[in-house]
Amino acid sequence: MIIMCPPVALGDDAESRADMLRKAAELECSAIASHVPEEWSDSRVAETRAFLDEHGLRVGEYVQFRFDFASAVPEEHRSAMADYRRQLRQAGIMGASFVGFNIVCDRATPRMWTEETWRRCTGAVAELAAEAEGAGMDVAVHPHYMSPLFSIERVEDLLASVPSPRLKVLIDIVNLTSPEMVYRTTELVNDVFDRLGDRIVGLHAKDVVMSGGGNTIVHVDEAIPGTGLMDLATVLRRLDGLGWDVTLQVEHLGYEDTLEGVGHIRRLAREAGIALG
């Protein structure tokens, strides 16, 4: 089933917890995308889990990206790995579906798409996957066009290079939309699911637009679901066909725009006869 999993911060006092529950009710969700602050103890995480359980709510997508993961600076990568070990442990306590991570080392530099950087990235992912196996928790990689993990082919290469059963995919199709595919999103969506579908455990639902006035040569941007060119109906159909629970987050928006985007996703699902959790 597709599990609607909008971004809602975990509350840590009566006021913020009331706000969390209010937003979850308005968004009509039983799962949220969130993470535990780094300073929280395991006992505090367990108490928060008990509160969520009491109110019929859970954390689905657990994401707190470390942008220094796979850094060429050893100390930075070690720091990221230490934090991901904490995340794996505390996501397990929270009962999350998976821990998401990305690979943005050497971003916006001449090294971003070099083989040297890619070898370092695959080695780092192998290290993280081994930690995930030990923790009994899935890790889901999040590709992006402006990163070493910039294409479907690169994701396939990573999955082949790190054959861990705990390595999954947190997909965002807008993140992989190159300019020539903006007006061919049905084709792109089907290509993503045909090639990566068996590893997808979460999806970020956004729309895609060309922006920049008359200079729309390569300026691809994200937008509120329902306001652009992404074939979200096909996205929902392909997600629904996976055969297991998969989270769906409408991200990068203010709260009112998130409500609008979630509402659009729900309308598309109703029209297609697709059940959302």
Amino acid 11: pLDDT: 87
What mean pLDDT value characterizes the chain?
Answer: 96
Least confident of 32-41, 94-103, 191-200, 216-225: 216-225
Residues 6+ apart with CB under 8 A from 10: 20, 32, 34, 35, 36, 48, 59
Nearest-CA neighbor of 62 among 70, 72, 74, 52? 52
Q: Is the pLDDT score of 53 beyond 90?
A: yes
- Residue 277 located in a structural domain: no
- Residue 232 located in a structural domain: yes
Distance CA 159, CA 50 (A): 35
Strands 220-223 and 207-210: antiparallel
Residue range 65-101, pLDDT digits in tens: 999 999 999 999 999 999 999 999 999 999 999 999 9
- Residue 117 located in a structural domain: yes
Residue range 33-46, pLDDT digits in tens: 999 999 999 999 99
Q: Is the pLDDT score of 48 beyond 70?
A: yes
- Residue 70 located in a structural domain: yes
- Tokens standing for residue 28: 């009509």
Q: Is the pLDDT score of 215 beyond 70?
A: no
Please list the residues that pair with 236 across neighbouring strands.
none
Structural domain that includes position 241? 2-272
- Residue 187 located in a structural domain: yes
- Residue 107 located in a structural domain: yes
Q: How many domains does the chain have?
A: 1
Q: Is the pLDDT score of 216 beyond 60?
A: no
Nearest-CA neighbor of 36 among 67, 68, 64, 6? 64
Contact by Cβ (8 Å): 236, 268: yes
- Residue 254 located in a structural domain: yes
- Residue 186 located in a structural domain: yes
CB neighbourhood size of 108 (10 A): 9
pLDDT above 70 covers a percentage of the chain that reads 97
Domain containing residue 226: CATH number: 3.20.20.150
